[in-house]
Amino acid sequence: MRSAEDTQDALRKRFPGIDARPVDPAPSVTVPPDALRGDLAFLRDELAFDFLVFVTALDRPADGVVEVVYRLFSHESRTSVVVRVRLPRDRALVPTVSDIFRTAEWHERETAEMFGVQFAGHPDPRRLLLPDNLDGYPLRKDFTHPNLIRLPEVP
């Protein structure tokens, strides 16, 4: 049984720059896209992070990036870790991890259609929730649609 402290030490050893974001106590690390698969496989196999809680993305137009967020949990040490990949908004391409965690398949399909992130090597890159005739990526901050009307600001 691996303890939470051991896991934290091992995380710090592998990712020297690992930090906790304000409020969320889970350590968070940003990795380059080509290291992602290796790092997630390492976290699953070596540190027993066997549960991918979710995959999502954050659109940050001010920085020109889309940030893909993977949150992992270990049933053994009962700790969480967050892995992030920062991608240029106009060419958001990241390898799929759906063969490492099967649940990633649906989460990646949702992230792809909502944020315009491409997951290279995805086994089933169809849309998941959105209709086929919708243009654009709804969860990007600059998404517009004739039916999308902003509410007036509340004073």
Partner 1 sequence: MDEISPTARGTVPALTGVTRLPAAQATSDEFLLNIGPQHPATHGVLRVVVTMDGEVVKDIVPHIGYVHRGLEKLFENRTYEQIIPFTDRTDYLSAIANNFAYVMGVERLLGLEVPKKVEYMRVLMAELNRISSHLLWLAAYGLDMGAFTPFLYAFRDREEIAAMIEEASGGRLTTNYFRVGGFVHDLPKGFFPRLRKFVARFGKAVNELDTLLVENAIFVARTRGVGSIGRERAVSYGMTGPCLRASNAAFDVRRDMPYSIYSSLDFEIPVGRNGDTWDRSWVRIEEMRQSLAILRQAMDGFPEGDHRARAPRNIEPPAGEVYSAVEGPRGEIGFYIVSDGTRKPFRVKMRKPSFSNFSALPEILRGLKIADLVAVMGSLDLVVPEIDR
CA angle 8, 10, 12 (to 5 degrees): 70
* 116-152 CB burial, b ≥16 within 10 A, e <16: bbbbeebeebeebeeeeeeeebebbeebeeeeeeeee
Site string for partner 1, 68-107 (x = CB under 8 A): -x-x-x-x--x-x------------------x-xxx-xxx
Using rule CB under 8 A, residue 17 touches partner 1: no
Least Å distance between CB 19 and partner 1?
12
Site string for partner 1, 33-72 (x = CB under 8 A): -----------------xxxxx-x-xx---------x-x-
Least Å distance between CB 134 and partner 1?
10
Q: Which of 34, 121, 130, 144 binds partner 1 (CB under 8 A)?
A: 130
Using rule CB under 8 A, residue 142 touches partner 1: no
* 61-91 CB burial, b ≥16 within 10 A, e <16: eeeebbbbebbbbbeebebbbbbbbbbebee
Using rule CB under 8 A, residue 23 touches partner 1: yes
> Count of CB atoms within 10 A of residue 6's CB?
13
Q: Which of 10, 11, 26, 41 binds partner 1 (CB under 8 A)?
A: 26
